[in-house]
Every structure is written in structure tokens, then in C-alpha cells.
């Protein structure tokens, strides 16, 4: 039974070591209010 547990641990460790995740950066924000051609936005650092 201990061998089975060790096999599972080894498998998980190997999968973690071989993991190659792709990162994608996305600006996400929320439009809070719109009126008279002006929008109030939250959550976007570079918004103008």
C-alpha cells in the first residue's frame, strides 16, 4: 500500500516539474457609469 502512495507522489512531482503553463496578460475593468459621452471605469491602470 505504501508503494502505491509513493508512486502517486512521484507521478505528481514529475507532472509539476514538467508543467509549462502559458501566461497571457489581459487588462480587465468594469464600466461603472456612462453618461453625456463620459464613462466612469474601474480596474484599468492605463485608461485615459
Q: Is the pTM of this model over 0.85?
A: no
Domain boundaries, the chain: 2-41
Which residue, 23, 22, 41, 21, is CA-closest to 31? 41
Taking only the tens of pLDDT, the chain with its 48 residues reads 568 989 999 999 999 999 988 888 888 888 888 999 888 888 877 766
CA 38 to chain centroid, in Å, comes to: 31
Which residue, 45, 15, 14, 6, is CA-closest to 27? 45
| The C-alpha cell that represents 40 in the structure block | 466612469
| Three-state secondary structure call for residue 29 | coil
Amino acid at each position: 500500500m505504501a508503494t502505491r502512495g509513493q508512486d502517486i507522489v512521484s507521478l505528481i512531482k514529475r507532472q509539476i516539474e514538467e508543467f509549462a503553463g502559458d501566461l497571457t496578460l489581459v487588462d480587465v475593468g468594469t464600466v461603472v457609469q456612462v453618461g453625456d459621452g463620459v464613462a466612469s471605469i474601474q480596474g484599468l491602470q492605463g485608461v485615459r
